[in-house]
Structure 1
Amino acid sequence: MNAPLSMPCNIKICEVTCDSFRIMWDMTPEDSARATHFFIDLSRKQNRDPNRFKHRDVPTKLVAKAVPLPMAVRGHWFLSPRTEYCVAVQTAVKQSDGDYLVSEWSQVVEFCTGDYAMEHLQQLLDKAKGSAGRLLKFSVFYRNQHPDYFDYVRRECGGLMRPALKDNSGSHGSPINGKLHGIFFSCNTEFDTGLPPKDSPYGPLRFQLPAGHLLNPNICLYFADFYCMYTAYHYVVLVLAPVGTEGDAFCRTRLPMLDLTSNPFLTNAGPQRQGDEPVFCHASDVILEVLFTEPVRLDQGAVEQISGHHQLMSLTTANAKKDPSCKVCNISVGR
């Protein structure tokens, strides 16, 4: 009769990315010599009833041939970025009758997948370029809010709009979600007027300031995300970070940098002739969300009532989830 296999112990997870990881554990020399297969059970942490063998000879979610450890796990599941998982393993010996002699399940180990790496963001950027459309001129950045927001800024912050932590809207793997502080601005204009829209989903008051205050040669421009929310509209998230600031240092190793004078989304082409004003342009076929990483004073611009008669609440994006089925804005890694 075959001796039982010992339970795998000291499970270790390493080299975790947004859609892969490597796993290793301790086995006795005898088990290492005779193990033919590894059974790996993976489930999201919120699933409190993880999938386990109903019987010892029924394979779990993944049956892998025994290989030297650590073993890479990728492609077997559509792992999601920034998601907590539980994993457990069994070792097994496939016997001549096709059945498996298996060990007891190991302890359950928890880990969390990572953000999109630069290569994944580059894939997302390439997709976004295909949707950007032609460039249109604009002259101001603007930010719509309710009166209470601006009252608070004046009363409690001395007229200084302070950066807030980016929420979890958009692609789950974007490195700025829940990690980078900034102030969101818009710059999209209406086709017929070349001016900001009359309506807003964010509030009836609009702060606007000249484009050159945020988009100038002392600013670094980064691509952060491309997503939609089950609609025909697509959003591009860009980060504007003054050179040498904490925001710039955060983005420099995590996000693709764009040429401020030549890119498909947001440009400052500089004056066409000596004495002319700079020319600012934005992409026409996507909605740009521009995150500025430093405080902005209200006295740098003006707060005015917008002229529209209603607010388009359906376009709000706070913590909105990306459509995982959209073929336009998804890439070939975990959602």
Structure 2
Amino acid sequence: MCQRIAQSNLKKPCSVLPILLSPICSSQHLKLVPSHPNAAPFLSPMESSAACKVLAVMPVLTLLFRLSSSACSFTVLNNCPHTIWPGTLAGAGTPELPTTGFRLDSGQTARIRAGPGWSGRIWARTGCQFDDTGNGTCLTGDCGGQMECRGAGPVPPVTLFEITLGNGLDDDDFYDVSLVDGYNLPVVAAPRVLHGACNATGCLADLNAGCPKELQVDGGGGGGVVACKSACEAFGLDEYCCRGEFANANTCKPSPYSSIFKAACPRAYSYAFDDGTSTSTCKAYDYTIIFCPDLNRLRSSHNYYQGGKGAGGGDEAEEPDENTPSSCASNLSSHLLFLPLFFLLREYELHWHHQQIWN
């Protein structure tokens, strides 16, 4: 395109290239030549083909800008050794997502588009059985006995990813992983960043393995514990549920049970007023939500970034006691702030393919 313009002396459209391509055009391989002493520089026909190759990246930049000001997506990855059935629920005043419930087998991913300002929850159901009409039940996270939740929220206990998207480029997103309604699966949420101080968040611990007996949900059939209730769900007391006279941050304090959750998952909400260390802000074009994340993969990414042996220097991080899941997960979760999201997401992208896309 630019070659034809240069040859026909229509130089104005190409005069903007030095602005867009200045880092490249200043190299020894691309020189800027003026058409006459008072004219803005433009690329000569001889060099225009290289510039036009660079122009191929412009649609990508345009797409990123459009995404930053209009829409976002959620990429859901199932790293569990079993099938899950993700569910979605929109907050008040926002439309439901293109899908509100679907099946996701082990090793599969799905991407869901969301409009600006969308607010809601995403979670994983387990142990589901549905008939051909989409009716059925789930052991955890059930939403009205339907494959598609259609406005029905999850039955506790369930691990929740919660988010409110901004409405424009300068309007940040707010997101968290919540254990306020209990726990059923470990999850990590990692933003693909447009701008801002963005961090991965989540709960890496297997809380089912260390769940206090009074909070346990047994799946029956010898399957063991499938979920861990919150103290509010288990006992129904106002002091645990932050209601009545305890409906404010001054009177509703962490309970011994929520403290167990917080010790295992320091970046997650452990009770209703656990805002200080649990809510993250960001401006991202995608949030990757990984159920049952691979702890070894996260650990190796962290060691590489921090200069461990895998990076060619220093000693490896001290290994936590493998027999204490809460201690192990607490150690790893506290490092989520420093995880290089590029390595985290790149490793998963090398092994996963988008199977389902909802626009």
If the TM-score is normalised by the length of the shorter chain, which range does it land in?
Answer: under 0.3
Which has a greater percent of strand? 1
The structure whose RCO (Cα within 8 Å, separation 6+) is larger is: 1
Which has a greater percent of helix? 2
TM-score, normalising length: structure 1: 0.25
TM-score, normalising length: structure 2: 0.24
